[in-house]
């Protein structure tokens, strides 16, 4: 089944731009209506059930197009085992059917003959042939495994941090992004760790999968051969939002990666704090849980929060000033807003003071009363622009 066939359902696993999209329709309640509604609902659930694993596999029952230098090792062995299994499945079913017909009981009065109990030649044959097959599978797998485990010495190094339920990629400039950006035609080494539980970095297009373990570093490497964007996901069940722990690998055209990294690393210098805060709000994952228009999500909305009195779960209250916002970003569990679950991950060590200041300026700009103060003197028109809806 190809991508086009999948897109017919309204909850298909691919976005208009061809990237994997996780469908939410299956979990959403569809209002009960006539017969058509019921059928539509079943269709929707069906497409979602098929669309999800297919989207992750690249929109097809077959492996996605290989995009790394080591992908062919996996593909070769996978298809070798697949076709060997198919051959033996067919052989066994055909022989079984033939024997059923050939040796069926034709006359109920005839007693069955005694069957042969031993045949040395046959037993040697059916021991030796499978032995050769498994040795071949092991040898081929070992060659690929060694290649995939040994990163070239000149590899470009990117640090990866997994945290419920986000990915952080730290580049050599110290810049942190939620997507993995890499140059094409250059080996990249990932040095990875987790801040909480075991996660597993999985990039199907590169045939790459490696666990991230808290308290230690693991590493893996790849060499991307085709520019483009590829899905990256977590392949180790790590809690209730495991399935939403998604990101993207962006493989840049030759020469473009360095340019992207320089621009991305310097966005704090080139933008006003409010604008930089708006970018951080998107990139650091705040947008997943905090709305900008007052809508209730997992966490409180950022709209009109600055300067207001906040009620905490322990019965106390406080003013949402700079210090409160800073603490809530770095150590979210210190003060839990009443009525919200203590679900936010701590950002201690992930955001420097400049970025925290930018985020606070951005939150300030969303307050009707304090928007003026948030405006940077260099760009007074920034805060006046209406806040983006999430």
Q: Where along the sequence are the contacts to ligand CUA (CB under 6 A)?
A: 162, 165, 199, 234, 236-238, 242, 245
Six-digit token string for 381: 């028109």
Q: Which residue, 63, 48, 64, is CA-closest to 6? A: 48
Q: In terms of residues, how long is the chain?
A: 390
Cβ distance to ligand CUA smaller for residue 212 or 360: 212
Q: How far is the CB of 213 from ligand CUA (least distance, A)?
A: 12
Q: How far is the CB of 357 from ligand CUA (least distance, A)?
A: 30
Rounded distance, CA 349 to CA 330, Å?
8
Q: How far is the CB of 192 from ligand CUA (least distance, A)?
A: 12
261's CB contacts (< 8 A; 6+ apart) are 171, 173, 175, 181
Q: Specify the DSSP class assigned to residue 194.
A: E
Q: How far is the CB of 212 from ligand CUA (least distance, A)?
A: 8
Cβ distance to ligand CUA smaller for residue 199 or 223: 199
Q: How far is the CB of 196 from ligand CUA (least distance, A)?
A: 9
Chain position carrying tokens 């329709």: 25
Cβ distance to ligand CUA smaller for residue 6 or 55: 55
Q: How far is the CB of 250 from ligand CUA (least distance, A)?
A: 20
Instruction: Give the torsion through C-alpha atoms of 346, 348, 353, 355, to 10 deg.
Output: -50
Cβ distance to ligand CUA smaller for residue 73 or 165: 165
Cα distances (Å, whole numbers) of residue 390 to 97, 251, 359: 61, 27, 15
Cβ distance to ligand CUA smaller for residue 240 or 258: 240
Contact in structure between 184 and 226 (CB atoms under 8 Å)? yes
Rounded distance, CA 116 to CA 113, Å?
9
């Amino acid at each position: 089944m190809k991508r086009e066939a999948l897109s017919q359902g309204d909850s298909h696993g691919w976005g208009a731009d061809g990237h994997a999209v996780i469908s939410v329709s299956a979990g959403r309640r569809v209002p009960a209506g006539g017969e058509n509604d019921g059928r539509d609902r079943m269709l929707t659930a069906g497409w979602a059930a098929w669309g999800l694993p297919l989207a992750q596999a690249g929109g097809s029952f077959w492996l996605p197009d290989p995009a790394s230098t080591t992908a062919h090792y996996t593909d070769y062995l996978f298809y070798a085992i697949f076709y060997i299994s198919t051959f033996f499945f067919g052989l066994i079913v055909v022989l079984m059917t033939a024997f059923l017909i050939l040796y069926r009981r034709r006359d109920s009065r005839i007693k069955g003959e005694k069957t042969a109990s031993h045949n040395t030649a046959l037993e040697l044959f059916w021991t030796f042939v499978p032995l050769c097959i498994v040795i071949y599978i092991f040898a081929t797998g070992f060659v690929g495994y060694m290649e995939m485990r040994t990163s070239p010495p000149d590899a470009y190094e990117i640090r990866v941090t997994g945290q419920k339920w986000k990915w952080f990629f730290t580049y050599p400039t110290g810049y942190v992004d939620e997507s993995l950006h890499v140059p094409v035609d250059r080996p990249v080494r990932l040095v990875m760790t987790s801040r909480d539980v075991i996660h597993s970095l999985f990039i199907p297009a590169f045939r790459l999968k490696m666990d991230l373990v808290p308290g230690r570093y693991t590493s893996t490497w790849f060499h991307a051969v085709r520019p483009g964007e590829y899905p990256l996901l977590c392949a180790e069940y790590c809690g209730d939002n495991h399935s939403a722990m998604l990101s993207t690998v962006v493989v840049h055209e030759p020469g473009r990666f360095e340019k992207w990294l320089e621009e991305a690393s310097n966005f704090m210098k080139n933008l006003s704090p409010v604008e930089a805060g708006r970018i951080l709000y998107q990139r650091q994952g705040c947008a997943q849980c905090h709305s900008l228009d007052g809508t209730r999500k997992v966490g409180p909305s950022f709209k009109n929060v600055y300067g207001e009195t906040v009620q905490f779960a322990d019965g106390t209250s406080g003013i949402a000033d700079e210090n409160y916002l800073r603490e809530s970003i770095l150590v979210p569990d210190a003060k839990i807003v009443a009525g919200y679950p203590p679900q936010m991950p701590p950002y201690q060590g992930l955001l420097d003071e400049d970025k925290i200041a930018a985020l606070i300026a951005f939150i300030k700009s969303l307050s009707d009363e304090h928007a003026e103060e948030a405006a940077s003197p260099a760009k007074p028109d920034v805060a006046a622009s209406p806040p983006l809806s999430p």
